[in-house]
Amino acid sequence: EAHPFSLSNRPDGRGLRLSIKAVGDFTRRIPALQPGTPVVIDGPHGVFTARRCASEKVLLIAGGIGITPIRSLAEELVAAGRSAVLLYGNRNADGIVFRAELDALAARSGGRLRVTHVLSHDPGWTGEKGYIDRDHLARLVPDWAEREVFLCGPPVMMKGVRSALSALGVPR
């Protein structure tokens, strides 16, 4: 039974990491898998890879567990010397997946990675608030027109961000 998942860190030749949110019957059973359980891994599939990225400057937009492929992509882009801005939307600070890893990756990127969290339902948050919309994009990424965009998140968030990008004039 096929269940596609994204790698959540850059492959290093020693192992692969998948980060899977338990949202259905199959994903809820994954923690019970025993070491040594055979699995089939193939790919990559599609165009969501640094190899397919044509620009030297990239805008990464993630929502919730959609950070999984974005986190891996950010690491690969930084290693290739590219400039990346990551806007990461969540409801609250507790929902920020890979927070320490993203901070560390940005710190060692030599300024090539900038991470901004945008939280929608966290009254104590002192950073960016609300949803990733046209105003956030224009203000936080003023050079958006020079960047290739990668987007991954829940369907409602992706619909809103696609609309905001379109309103800015970003081609499909």
Q: Has residue 20 got a pLDDT over 80?
A: yes
pLDDT band at 19 (very low <50, low <70, confident <90, very high): confident
3-state secondary structure of 104: helix
In this prediction, residue 14 carries a pLDDT of: 86
Q: Please give the backbone phi and psi of residue 142, each rounded to the nearest 5 degrees, phi first.
A: -60, -20
Per-residue pLDDT of 134-161, as tens digits, reads: 999 999 999 999 999 999 999 999 999 9
Measured between alpha carbons, how far is 88 from 109 in angstroms, rounded to an integer? 18
Higher-confidence residue: 83 or 44?
83
In this prediction, residue 130 carries a pLDDT of: 97
Q: Has residue 46 got a pLDDT over 80?
A: no
Give every strand in the sheet of 57-63, ordered side by side: 128-129, 113-119, 83-90, 57-63, 148-152
Measured between alpha carbons, how far is 122 from 137 in angstroms, rounded to an integer? 20
For the chain, what percent of residues have pLDDT higher than 90? Answer: 70
3-state secondary structure of 27: helix
**What element of type H or E holds 150?**
strand 148-152
Per-residue pLDDT of 97-108, as tens digits, reads: 999 999 999 999
Per-residue pLDDT of 120-130, as tens digits, reads: 999 999 999 99
Beta-strand relationship, 83-90 and 128-129: unpaired
Q: Please give the backbone phi and psi of residue 39, each rounded to the nearest 5 degrees, phi first.
A: -135, 160
pTM comes to 0.88
Beta-strand relationship, 148-152 and 57-63: parallel
Q: Has residue 9 got a pLDDT over 90?
A: no
The structure tokens listed for 68 are 């999984």
Instruction: List Cβ neighbours of 5 (8 Å cut-off, separation of 6 or more).
Output: 18, 20, 68
Measured between alpha carbons, how far is 47 from 148 in angstroms, rounded to an integer? 12
